[in-house]
């Protein structure tokens, strides 16, 4: 297996717990480096720059696109998100496993560039539970909630048909252990 087998992607529809899961997995292993995504959206309450995301201007984001600095990028819910290529390569060069927390569109892009990347999909226990979680998020309008729920349908299809591993997040601790095991055994 090449070094690119050390790239892991976690994708999940909105409201499924992917960020929480990724943070816990990082705590379990010194070998994992979570790659921080750049975004043009504003921070939510409690989010910090460089920890949750790198919050950058639209001008800076477009400049990074032009320079080819992203391994993948997309416009999602009216904001840009992108994964810096240099951060993935830096993690691998340090002997770490690069963990990307991105949507399925990004997961497909990473797999097309790094064919041995391992795609891990997380699904909610039910559509109703997912909607409850999304509605609990602060600051989302009804239109944004509907858009996220509609996107979730497509993301579920991609995870079920194209991802290497799929987990239903019924129990957070069990889901974390299962994903950590996949990463440990695959790297």
pLDDT at 3 over 60: no
* CATH number assigned to the domain comprising residue 92: 3.40.50.300
pLDDT at 1 over 50: no
Rg value, the chain, Cα: 16
Of the pLDDT bands very low, low, confident and very high (cuts 50, 70, 90), residue 107 is very high
Could you write out the DSSP letters of every residue in 59-114? HHHHHHHHTT-EEEEEEETTEEEEEEHHHHHHHHHTTPEEEEE--HHHHHHHHHHS
Q: Quick one: average pLDDT of 14-35?
A: 88
How far is residue 153's CA from residue 128's CA, in Å, rounded to a whole number? 12
What is Dmax (Cα atoms) for the chain? 46
Which is higher by pLDDT, 82 or 125?
Answer: 82
How far is residue 12's CA from residue 104's CA, in Å, rounded to a whole number? 7
Tokens found for residue 173? 């601790």
Tokens found for residue 67? 């320079």
Distances (CA, A) of 100 to 83, 107, 114, 139: 8, 9, 13, 25
Distances (CA, A) of 108 to 102, 120, 162, 173: 10, 11, 8, 27
Of the pLDDT bands very low, low, confident and very high (cuts 50, 70, 90), residue 127 is confident
Instruction: Decide: 9 and 119 in contact? Cβ < 8 Å.
Output: yes
- With residues binned 3-state (H G I as helix, E B as strand, rest as coil), the percentages for the chain, rounded to 5, are 50, 25, 30
What total of structural domains would you count in the chain? 1
Q: What angle do CA 166, 150, 57 make, to 5 degrees?
A: 90
Residue 91's domain comprises 3-186
């Amino acid at each position: 297996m090449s070094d690119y087998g050390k790239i892991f992607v976690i994708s999940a529809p909105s409201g499924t717990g992917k960020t929480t899961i990724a943070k816990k997995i990082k705590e379990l292993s010194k070998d994992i480096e979570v790659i921080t995504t750049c975004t043009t959206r504003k921070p939510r309450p409690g989010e910090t720059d460089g920890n949750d995301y790198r919050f950058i201007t639209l001008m800076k984001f477009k400049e990074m696109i032009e320079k080819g600095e992203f391994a993948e990028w997309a416009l999602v819910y009216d904001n840009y998100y992108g994964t810096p290529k240099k951060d993935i390569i830096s993690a691998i060069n340090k002997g770490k496993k690069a963990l990307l927390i991105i949507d399925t569109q990004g997961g497909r892009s990473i797999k097309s560039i790094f064919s041995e990347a391992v795609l891990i999909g997380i699904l909610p226990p039910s559509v109703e539970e997912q909607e409850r979680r999304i509605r609990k998020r602060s600051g989302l309008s009804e239109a944004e909630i509907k858009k996220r729920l509609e996107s979730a349908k497509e993301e579920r299809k991609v995870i079920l048909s194209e991802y290497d591993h799929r987990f239903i997040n019924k129990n957070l601790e069990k889901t974390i252990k299962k994903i950590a095991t996949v990463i440990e055994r695959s790297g």
